[in-house]
């Protein structure tokens, strides 16, 4: 599995840095964001290092990501809906260069994207 030794999310995936784990399997880890932007703000992160959503991501990993999003929604009781965001690059404000999906919910988020 591809890892970046300087990457914080690789370290969280390997449990070298603690996090509040919501869901985990062999491909994916999901943990609560340190600076939540909504009542529920969980990050779904593949354990292998990919820079962003435009990387060449194996199909089985994409399937695992969608399953993890579903598991997070169930664990957090997001029955009324939620938003999934993946930032790519400077204009999107990506700060951690390891692919991740923000799962946001727990209140009405409004119709606007941001």
Binding site for ligand AMP (CB under 6 A): 8, 17, 19, 33-35, 43, 87, 93-96
Q: Which is nearer to ligand AMP, 95 or 113 (CB)?
A: 95
Q: Which does 35 bind (CB under 5 to 8 A by kind): ligand AMP, Zn ion, none?
A: ligand AMP
Is 100 considered catalytic here? yes
**Site stretch for Zn ion (CB under 5 A), options 20-28, 46-54, 81-89, 102-110:** 46-54
> Which of the following is catalytic: 41, 49, 98, 100?
100
Tokens of residue 104, six digits = 């946001």
Task: Spell out the residues 6+ positions from residue 6 whose beta carbon is closer than 8 angstroms to its own.
Answer: none
| Distances, alpha carbon 45 to alpha carbons 17, 20, 50, 70, 109, in Å | 14, 13, 10, 13, 22
**Site stretch for Zn ion (CB under 5 A), options 6-14, 33-41, 88-96, 102-110:** 6-14
Question: Cβ distance 44 to 105 under 8 Å?
Answer: no
Task: Spell out the residues 6+ positions from residue 29 whose beta carbon is closer than 8 angstroms to its own.
Answer: 12, 13, 19, 21, 23, 45, 47
Residue 10 binds Zn ion, judged by CB under 5 A: yes
Instruction: Give the binding site for Zn ion (CB under 5 A).
Output: 4, 7, 9-10, 49, 98
């Amino acid at each position: 599995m591809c890892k970046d030794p300087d990457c914080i999310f690789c370290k969280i995936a390997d449990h070298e840095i603690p996090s509040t784990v919501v869901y985990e399997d062999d491909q994916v880890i999901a943990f609560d964001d340190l600076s939540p932007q909504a009542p529920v703000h969980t990050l779904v992160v593949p354990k292998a290092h990919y820079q962003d959503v435009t990387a060449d991501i194996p199909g089985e990993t994409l399937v695992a990501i969608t399953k993890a999003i579903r598991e997070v929604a169930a664990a957090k009781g997001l029955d009324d809906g939620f938003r999934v965001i993946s930032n790519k690059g400077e204009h999107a404000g990506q700060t951690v260069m390891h692919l991740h999906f923000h799962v946001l919910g727990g209140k009405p988020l409004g119709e606007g994207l941001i």
